Every structure is written in C-alpha cells, then in structure tokens.
Chain A
Amino acid sequence: MSNIPADLHYAKSHEWLRLAGDGTAVVGITDYAQSSLGDITFVQLPKVGAILAAGATFGVVESVKAASDLYLPAAGVVLEVNAALDAAPEILNRDPYGEAWMLKLKLDGSASAELLDPAAYASHLG
C-alpha cells in the first residue's frame, strides 16, 4: 500500500535518507508516516549549522491528531532546511519524498548500519 522508493534508506521510526554520493544526504519522512499522521499542520526543523548525532531528535511533525518527534537517520551538520514546510506543511501529505524533503545534511561518517533497505522497511511495516 505504502509508497517505498527503491533508492532510499529507511529508519524504523519512518524517516528516509537519500545519499547524494558526495558526502551529503537529504532527509524526510515516509509515505507511511504522513499517512499515519493524517493532516499535517506544523513542522519544526533545526537551524542551519546544527550539528546532530545519529538518532537525535531533529524536530517535530504535528498533525490534527498528534505531535511526533523526528529522529535523524545519520549524523551530520544541517546544510539547509526546507522553508516551504513552514508555510505549507500540508505538502508532506502530498509529496513526502519530493517537494516535502526536510533537511540537507553534510554527513559525519557513514550512515548508520541500523538503517533498512526498501525490502526490510516494507517488512517492518508488515
């Protein structure tokens, strides 16, 4: 049911990581996450320049139903945040892998070995 693109890495907490191949990566939340949350009404993201550990809370995504913490799939420095989410958080419901990306990171080391490939994430969703 859920859309799980083949070129991404996934955290069990429903964030995705897209490696650019140049030591940077893009982070967002999965289609399953946006669908479970329902109408997304607010997104809080870190400041550019923040240095974050793998697994650290990097923000909050809030829907009509509940607020949920966001966990960083890999350690790094925040290069850019998606300012569009501030004015239009509902784009997360529409395009969680594209227009509604959250962060660009300069990776500190490699991505966590605990990340799931698409098949493993699909079976994690059950």
Chain B
Amino acid sequence: MSDLKRTPLRDFHAARGGRLVDFAGWEMPVQYRSILEEHKAVRRSAGLFDVSHMGEVDVKGPQALDFLERLVTNEVARLHPGKVLYTPMCAEDGGTLDDLLVYLRAPGDYLLCINAGNIAADLAWMTRQAEGFDVTVTDRSADHALLAIQGPASAAIVQSLTGSKLGLLTNYTFCEGTVAGVHCLISRTGYTGEDGFELYHAPADAVALAEALLAAGAPHGLELAGLGARDSLRLEAGFPLHGHELSPSISPLSAGLGWTVKLAKSRPCLAHAALAREKTEGSARRVVFFRTGDRRIVRADTPVRGADGATVGRVLSGTLSPLLNEAIGSALIDASAVDGGLRVDIRGTDIGLRTVRPPFVPLRRG
C-alpha cells in the first residue's frame, strides 16, 4: 500500500491492531477488534476515530460570505463566530458535489471541512467559482490532523483533559482551546448521532493527543474505532455519505435534506434555479431508508423491484445494524414507486424492504 497517503497516526493504528485498507486513497483502519463491537462501544460509552484524511479549506476575504452563499445551499449568513453549519455544495443542475461543515471563526474568516475523496475536485470547483469574488481559497488539509471522539462518555473524557468549559459548547458550536496540552479547534460535531467532539490539531501533535484521549477514556470504556464502525454508525443515524446518499446525480432534495436547501436566502446559491424547480415539481427519485427483518446484508447497487416486479431503483448503502441485529440500508427509488412494496433478491431469496424514517435507533442527538 505504498502509494497510499498516510495520516500521522498510521503507525499508531498498526501498533494497536488496526486493519489498514485503502479508503479514498488513504491507508486507514477499517477496524481494530470488531466493527460490531466498536459500533456498540460508541453507542454505549465512546469511540475514538482518526479522520485526519478529511480535507480542510480556508476561505478568507471581504467577500467570503458572498462567495460561500453562492457556493452552498444552506444559509451561511446564519452563522455567528463559534458556530458550525452543515451544508451540501451543489452544481448548477442541483447535483451534490460534496457535503461539508462551515466554521465561522471571525467575519470574513471561514474554515471548511470536506470529504477526503473530494479534496482535489472541491478545490478546483471552489477556485473556479471564486473568480470575481474578493476571497482567497486555500487548501489547509496538510496542516490539520483530526480526531473524533464520539459517544455519551465523550464530554467527560475530553473535559478531564481541557480547561475549556465544554458545558457551554452546544451542538454544532466550537471553540479554540488545549486538550492534553495540544492546541485544538474543539468542535461539538460528529457523524455517529451521538454526543461528541471533533478535534482539529497540528499533525505533529496527533499521536500525543490520541494517546492522552485513549488513556483518559479507558476507565469510561472508550475504544478505538475504525471506518467500518463509522459507516454503520452514520447509516444507523440516517446521515448521508457522499458518493452514496448524495452524489452529483442526487440533489439534497432527492436525499431528503430539504432543511439544508435555503431557497429564500438573500444571496441565492448557484444551484438555485434547478433546486427551486425540483422543489416545485417534486423530485423524480427519492432516497429512502429501509430495514428488512433479516440478517442478510442488502449491499450497495442491489436492484430494487416494485410491487409489479419492475426495477424501480437501487440500493445506495447497506449494513447490519448492530443494535437492531437486522439489515438496514438506503436506496434511490423512483418517486412514483416509493409508497408501493419494495423488494430485493439476495442470492435467490426474496426479501421485502420496510421503509422507515431514520434514525433507526433512538439517539441522544438526532
């Protein structure tokens, strides 16, 4: 795996039994001990994830807000310093190029966190869209490592290592502070549906910070968790993963993320016309979530058939819910067929899909 990019924690993972795989060109731990056990540890107490492969982008300048409002579908003007916004980023046709977090540090000074697999394409797109705006767009990915600590015990663990008052840090806010002596941007965000933090820090500090969090978390039941558990946790919570529930051919409206599309904002995004039309006419296809009552995993790209047997869509994501102990997933379905019976064939067995509104399990944070 010599061509793969490595985070500063690559050897840390290998030394702790991490099974390293190629993820979007990065050598990342998919699991340490067991995906199912790591998943349960996050729901029960806490898990520690290395997500340093994620990209970071600085957007600065007098017209940074105007530029970002044009770039993304959610309303960036709602941010105040210390607040975080989740938003899709769409092309003119409404297709989703990426989904990202926007951090407002100070007026005209934003940090974006983008998906690892999209870093190069996003930067090219953002740079092109920035023409005509008084703004600078800078790739800062190499300057950041990122650890996510997720689960109900996260706050107690991180609080034991920082003087920052985490009780004041509400969902989707952030502050700057030190954790175990390491300077961090402390963000109360995550991708599991649990309470938790994402800690942005300098790559040189990553091993020391990870070791301090593991040591402080051990009495609470904190476990290292890999990308396998990250995926099953986000699917159980009903969160989209770009390339699955969101993609250049799936708009945020199709994906059921209408709350992230602010068509009435004063500075419309560049996908405004396409998304306004889709909202009026209705999406031709919709992302639905399903459970099956069976343990056989319904894997991505499995065709989905409607009541009359015709193919009406395909599976986007599928896994076994470790808490429900049954297969769950998402599918992209022709809008006219969503309310009919949906079925899949798995190795000759006909299985019905029961559509549900996520999250699949009760979450402390939806």
Q: Which residues of A contact B (CB under 8 A)?
A: 38-39, 41-42, 44, 60, 62, 64-65, 67, 89-90, 93
CB–CB B295/A64 < 8 A: no
Known: A38-B34, A39-B36. A64 touches B296 (CB 8 A): no
Point out the residues of chain A lying under 8 angstroms from B296, CB to CB: 42, 62
Bound state CA distance, A62 and B36, in angstroms? 14
Bound state CA distance, A108 and B296, in angstroms? 32
Per DSSP, chain B at the interface is mixed
Bound state CA distance, A89 and B319, in angstroms? 15
| Residue B175 lies at the interface, judged by CB distance under 8 Å to chain A | no
Known: A64-B35, A64-B319, A90-B36. A42 touches B295 (CB 8 A): yes
CB–CB B320/A41 < 8 A: yes
Point out the residues of chain B lying under 8 angstroms from A42, CB to CB: 295-297, 320
| Residue B232 lies at the interface, judged by CB distance under 8 Å to chain A | yes
Contact of B34 (CB < 8 Å), options: A60, A89, A93: A93
Bound state CA distance, A67 and B347, in angstroms? 10
CB–CB B347/A64 < 8 A: no
Instruction: Report how many residues on chain B are interfacial, defined by Cβ distance under 8 Å.
Output: 15
| Binary per-residue interface labels of chain B (150-170) against chain A in the complex, 1 for a CB within 8 Å, 0 otherwise | 000000000000000000000
| Residue B82 lies at the interface, judged by CB distance under 8 Å to chain A | no
Point out the residues of chain A lying under 8 angstroms from B36, CB to CB: 39, 41, 64, 90
* 26 chain-A/chain-B pairs, Cβ below 8 angstroms: A38-B19, A38-B31, A38-B34, A39-B35, A39-B36, A39-B37, A41-B36, A41-B297, A41-B320, A42-B295, A42-B296, A42-B297, A62-B295, A62-B296, A62-B297, A64-B35, A64-B36, A64-B228, A64-B232, A64-B297, A64-B319, A64-B320, A67-B297, A67-B347, A90-B36, A93-B34
Bound state CA distance, A90 and B39, in angstroms? 15
Extra contacts besides A38-B31, A39-B37, A62-B295 (14): CB < 8 Å:
A38-B34, A38-B35, A39-B34, A39-B35, A41-B295, A41-B297, A42-B296, A42-B320, A44-B347, A60-B347, A64-B228, A64-B319, A65-B228, A67-B297
7 nearest interchain CB pairs? A42-B295, A41-B320, A39-B36, A64-B35, A39-B35, A39-B34, A42-B296
Q: Which residue of B lies closest to A93 (CB)?
A: B34
Bound state CA distance, A55 and B36, in angstroms? 32
Bound state CA distance, A38 and B19, in angstroms? 10
Bound state CA distance, A114 and B299, in angstroms? 34
Point out the residues of chain A lying under 8 angstroms from B297, CB to CB: 41-42, 62, 64, 67
Q: Which residue of B lies closest to A69 (CB)?
A: B347
Within B19-72, the residues touching A (CB, 8 Å) are 19, 31, 34-37
Bound state CA distance, A93 and B232, in angstroms? 19
Bound state CA distance, A41 and B298, in angstroms? 12
Point out the residues of chain A lying under 8 angstroms from B31, CB to CB: 38-39
Within B318-338, the residues touching A (CB, 8 Å) are 319-320
Q: Which residue of A lies closest to B347 (CB)?
A: A60
A30 CB to closest chain B CB (Å) equals: 18
Q: Which residue of A lies closest to B31 (CB)?
A: A38
Bound state CA distance, A78 and B319, in angstroms? 31
Query: Which of A41, A42, A67, A89 has its CB near the most chain B CB atoms (within 10 A)?
Result: A41
B37 CB to closest chain A CB (Å) equals: 8
B320 CB to closest chain A CB (Å) equals: 5
Contact of A89 (CB < 8 Å), options: B19, B37, B295, B299: B295
Point out the residues of chain A lying under 8 angstroms from B19, CB to CB: 38
Bound state CA distance, A62 and B346, in angstroms? 12
Bound state CA distance, A59 and B37, in angstroms? 26
Bound state CA distance, A37 and B296, in angstroms? 15
A67 CB to closest chain B CB (Å) equals: 7
Point out the residues of chain B lying under 8 angstroms from A39, CB to CB: 31, 34-37
Point out the residues of chain A lying under 8 angstroms from B319, CB to CB: 64
Point out the residues of chain B lying under 8 angstroms from A62, CB to CB: 295-297
Bound state CA distance, A42 and B325, in angstroms? 11
Bound state CA distance, A65 and B35, in angstroms? 10
